[in-house]
Structure 1
Amino acid sequence: MAEPLHVLLAGGGTAGHVNPLLAVADEVRRRHPHARLTVLGTAEGLEADLVPAHGLDLRVLPRVPLPRRPSVDLLRLPGRLRDAVAAAEAAIDEGVDVVVGFGGYVSTPAYLAARRRGVPVVIHEQNARPGLANRLGARWAHAVAVTFPGTRLPGAVVTGLPLRAPVARLVEERRTDAAGRRALAARELGLDAERVTLLVTGGSLGALRINTAVAAAAADLLATGAQVLHLAGRGKADAVREAVAGVPGAERYQVREYLTEMEHALALADLVIGRAGAGTVCELAALGLPAVYVPLPIGNGEQRLNAGPVVAAGGGLLVDDASLDADWLRTHVRVLLEGPRRRGDPAPDGRGGGGCRGGR
């Protein structure tokens, strides 16, 4: 009797890597119920919590950041990489049939270990501009999937971004009963289903610029009658709460560090302010939600490219991180909150642009 399929999934650090990994894991389970799934991740990233909670076996590898310029980290790279590759090889030696990588710190050692062991590699690149790990692994990968047209990787095939199962379900729920799903989300979050809702999020780690600017404009945003759900990020919620304390309407300004059931926030939101990671752009586009995208000002500029097609299609506004402040929000966002009662109706086919698709 043939051994069941064993898939090693590599990726982590942020939700942008972890969420598509989990979506692919769900689809592999659906197609191959007896498959064995193992995940390579770090002890510090979001995967340390989400992967075990998803019922998956997590193997921890040391973080191996690839320095973009000369630094002390460059001197430490050979030793770190050697240890990480050895750990990845140990996981592969348990009978892995294929390595599926999503970029991030653990993907480089996973790709190198797979090459040494002669195990095929499949890569998914979430962003419009690929990161260093996937640019390296794509050189010998058996298949390369990308989210956005124009992503430059050898042999790239545009597949879109696998959506997390709860978000894929929400797309359908909004199509069939948007009002009912909105009411359920409001109850779960302790908010008002009848009020226009602004969702503010900087991802799992938060975004200091977004937090500071929105909190400073809170009085003007709340004066529209809207309510705000502000997901400030790990360790950043108290500063936002202090900034909005005493502002007229502050009882309509809810602050949380993070929301595991993000689908509730998306079901209730009429407008979103956030970064432009591939996951954020694709989920909002699939749900037909308008957004103010504030690309991360560091990295290789991929977030601006991610949001470009959606913004060009009229699905949102794009503002540089350095330009986002309370005055900009008063000028550009207040008028949106004062507009039509509901701005979050799904697109006619339940999908947006940008190469974003569900997990199946």
Structure 2
Amino acid sequence: MHVVLAGGGTAGHVEPALALADALRRARPDIGVTALGTERGLETRLVPQRGYDLALIPPVPVPRRPSPALLKVPARLVGAVRAAAAVLRRTEADVLVGFGGYVAAPAYLAARRLGVPVVVHEANARPGLANRLGARLTHHVAGAWPDTPLRHADYVGMPLRRTITTLDRAGVRAAARAELGLAPDLPTLLVFGGSQGARRLNLAVHGGADALAAAGVQVLHAAGRGNVVPVERTSGPPYVALEYLDRMDLAYAAADVALCRAGAMTCAELAAVGLPAAYVPLPHGNGEQRLNAEPVVRAGGGLLVDDADCTPEWVASTLAPLLADAPRLEAMGRAAAEFGRRDGDDRLAALVLGVAEGERR
């Protein structure tokens, strides 16, 4: 059996695809897996690192607004569909699984042309163009969130890394805090905004550092490349500022609350491990980040904060008191964990294997 995954581009597309690949391999050690990608996506590094075959096809970016670049899309799409079809033929694919992004649309069209069954996984609460297309070509659609607005969508959850889904936060908290240079017994705020950081979050937390210290809160702050501003303290709670966190599992274990953006992967991971969060959706784009955070916030597992309201004053007036309220944090953590799913990888793998085996019969 051979499965082709179309999830190149951003980490939000690549990581769920790789989590599925790992689940498929656990279920069927002899299965073949090939990931489609483009030469400029993160998959060129991440896929080979995890031991999977990578096949590159031309990207087909679609402008969000009318522009001269739209005129180039048809020709690019034809070439990308042809390249994706060649990969499906070469691997004798039993099923194509798409996760959206630049790679997915041509892969869906190639699979339809060749009669290869398609499974679509949508990570965001608001689907993108590629997956809206894919969902029209198949009945096998999976969503990371309840009420995913795609035809035939079933709620399976987000495929997540095993380091996240098997994390025992309480069990490794002391070791995680020690490794990250934090005190063992202080309320801990984790701040992160992705590999590039988030300027709004960085300014708010740096400006609110004194208020957090006065409340006895220590900070683990991943500010992004080139964005670290040291907080000089001779006494008081630690403030650990880094460019990037390689071990998010340790960061989640060390923290009592996260302050972060609301990408689909971030929301799913925090809910799965039961870590309360203050989500600050990006103020631009199509509004998908707010929609990603709303379900776990409604369930009681987090706060939703407008970008403009994420200020040093808000950190002092709202975030610092929250970190001092242990009973409220415990309740929020339980609500997040009850909402989150840790088995999205296995659920999606079962769907994919069922489709592939049904086709073989």
Q: Please say whether Structure 1 and Structure 2 have the same fold, judged by a TM-score greater than 0.5.
A: yes
Q: How does 1:100-139 map to 2 (within 5 A)?
A: 100-139=97-136
Tell me if 1:22 matches 2:15.
no
Find the aligned partners of 1:82 and 1:208 in 2 and give their Cα distance. Answer: 39
- Counterpart secondary structure, 1:352: helix
Structure 2 letter corresponding to 1:31: A
Alpha carbons of structure 1 residues 42 and 261: separation in structure 2 relative to 1, 3 Å: farther
Q: Distance in 1 between matches of 2:183 and 2:218?
A: 8
The structure-2 alpha-carbon separation of the partners of 1:288 and 1:34, relative to structure 1 and needing over 3 Å to count, comes to same
Equivalent position to 2:46, from 50, 54, 62: 50
Contact 1:231–1:258 at 8 Å: present in 2 too?
A: yes
State the identity as a percent.
55
Aligned partner of 2:303 among 313, 317, 323: 317
Matched, 1:293 2:282: no
Residues 1:65 and 1:341: Cα distance change in structure 2 (over 3 Å): same
Where 2:154 maps in the other structure, the secondary structure is strand
Task: Give matches, 1:197-208, under 5 Å.
Answer: 197-208=188-199
Superposed counterparts of 1:1-360, under 5 Å: 5-94=1-90, 95-170=92-167, 173-174=168-169, 178=170, 180-233=171-224, 235=225, 238-241=226-229, 244-246=230-232, 252-340=238-326, 343=329, 351-353=337-339, 357-360=343-346
Higher helix fraction: Structure 1 or Structure 2? 2
Between the aligned partners of 1:160 and 1:354, the Cα distance in structure 2 is 8
Cα gap change, 1:104 to 1:249, in 2 (>3 Å): farther
Partner of 1:123, secondary structure, is strand
Q: CA deviation at 1:124?
A: 0.5
Q: Which amino acid aligns with 2:200?
A: R
Which structure 1 segments of 5+ residues have no match? none
Using the alignment, how far apart are the partners of 2:335 and 2:320 within structure 1? 29
**One-letter identity of the residue aligned with 1:52:** P
Give per-residue Cα distances to partners, 1:16-72, cap 9 Å, x unaligned: 222221211111001110111111123333333322221112223333222221023
Query: Contact between 1:269 and 1:344, CA under 8 Å: does it hold in 2?
Result: no
Give distance in 2, aligned partners of 1:354 and 1:197: 22
1:221 and 1:330 in contact (8 A); partners too: yes
Shift of the alpha carbon at 1:341? 9.1
Alpha-carbon deviations, 1:314-353, whole Å to 9, x = none? 2111011222222222211111223339946895699331
Q: Deviations over 1:217-250 (max 9, x none)?
A: 22322333322222223x3xx3232xx4436669
Q: Is the partner of 1:285 in helix, strand or coil?
A: helix
* Alpha-carbon distance in 1 for matches of 2:291, 2:141: 19
Preserved CA contact (<8 Å) 2:279 2:293: yes
Distance in 1 between residues matched to 2:60 and 2:234, nearest whole Å: 47
Which residue is 2:355 aligned to? none
Q: Sort the Cα spacing of 1:96 and 1:338 in 2 relative to 1 into closer, same or farther, 3 A.
A: same
Separation in 2, partners of 1:225, 1:134: 46
What residue number does 2:356 align with?
Answer: none
User: Compared with structure 1, are the counterparts of its residues 312 and 345 closer, same or farther at alpha carbon in structure 2 (3 Å cutoff)?
Assistant: closer
Please give the root-mean-square deviation of Cα atoms over the aligned residues, in Å: 2.5
Q: Matches of 2:264 and 2:75 in 1, distance apart?
A: 32
The CA deviation at 1:153 is: 0.9
* Separation in structure 2 between the aligned mates of residue 211 and residue 338 of structure 1, nearest angstrom: 21
Aligned length, in residue pairs: 345
CA–CA separation in structure 2 for the residues paired with 1:24 and 1:131: 20
TM-score between both structures, scaled by the size of structure 1: 0.87
Change (3 A) 1:20 1:346: farther
Give the letter aligned to residue 186 of structure 1.
Answer: R
Change in CA separation of 1:350 and 1:109 when aligned onto 2, cut-off 3 Å: same
Structure 2 CA distance for aligned equivalents of residues 111 and 160 of structure 1: 22
Distance 1:295 1:123, change over 3 A: same
Deviation at 1:135, TM superposition (A): 0.3
The answer on whether the counterparts of 1:144 and 1:154 sit within 8 Å (CA) in structure 2 is yes
Task: Report the Cα distance in structure 2 between the residues aligned to 1:45 and 1:213, rounded to whole angstroms.
Answer: 31
Q: 1:250/1:204 Cα in 2 relative to 1: closer, same or farther (>3 Å)?
A: farther
Per-residue CA shift, 1:92-151, capped at 9, x if unaligned? Answer: 121222110111121112112212222111000011111111001111024100122222
